[in-house]
Amino acid sequence: MDLIHQLISFILHIDVHLKEIIHMFGIWSYVILFLIVFVETGLVVFPFLPGDSLLFAAGAFAATGAFQIALLMIVFFIAAVIGDTVNYQIGKKIGTSISPDSWFGKVINQEKMNKAEAFFNKHGGKTIVMARFMPFIRTFAPFVAGASRMNYRYFITYNIVGAVLWVGLCTMLGYLFGNIPVIKDNFSTVLIAIIGLSVLPAIIAYFKNKFVAKKVV
């Protein structure tokens, strides 16, 4: 429980923690930011790490001179692309060998893998790009893409496009608006709003699917 509280505190007060990281590690802060984004996008068991909020907060610090904005965006971009690529390869290696009796096997079974493969073959690009802006889904999408044997050339193209849009938009929003007094004074509220907007498409899709299912029945 303490770990969950600490994680929530880290996400909601990421501006404070970033300030501490910069003070303690200096230039090595880029490495730490790289690792956070890489783990959040690259390891399917860590979907709860900060993504959008981290990019926004780091962009705001870049506006104060704590980071070089160009270098920061390059670091985030490389971490995001490599993270999704590793996640894809993990899904490709172990996705089809997950035990059907395990919790993960029940969530992603062979039938769902087949459906995912058909879905990615039809809407793969849109899925990978849109998933960048959705917490949790951002972590699972490349894993499912790999497990469903989505064409890698197709995947890497949209992986790069999604990373450019995600890093560019979230980081530049922080860089341009993160230090406006009203936003800076209510940073935690702004981060909650960013997270809320990120998960909104997934919530809408969930209720839309439930409504369609009920209508069919």
CB contact set of 36 (below 8 Å; sequence gap of 6+): 49, 50, 54
Q: What percent of the chain has pLDDT over 90?
A: 25
pLDDT greater than 70 at residue 115? no
> What is the domain range of residue 109?
2-216
pLDDT value, residue 19: 84
| Count of structural domains within the chain | 1
pLDDT greater than 60 at residue 116? no
Q: What is the pLDDT of residues 83-110, one digit of tens each?
A: 999 999 988 888 666 666 666 665 555 5
More confident residue, 95 or 81: 81
Neighbours of 112 (CB within 10 A): 16
Q: What percent of the chain has pLDDT over 70?
A: 64
b (16+ CB within 10 A) / e for 4-25: eeeeeebbbebbebbeebbeee
Q: What is the pLDDT of residues 42-68, one digit of tens each?
A: 887 666 666 788 898 899 999 989 999
More confident residue, 145 or 205: 145
Mean pLDDT rounded to a whole number for the chain: 78
Round to whole Å and give the CA distance between 4 and 214: 35
Alpha-carbon separation of residue 212 from 44, 116, 119, 207, 217 (angstroms): 29, 19, 18, 9, 9
Does the pTM exceed 0.85?
Answer: no
More confident residue, 217 or 167: 167
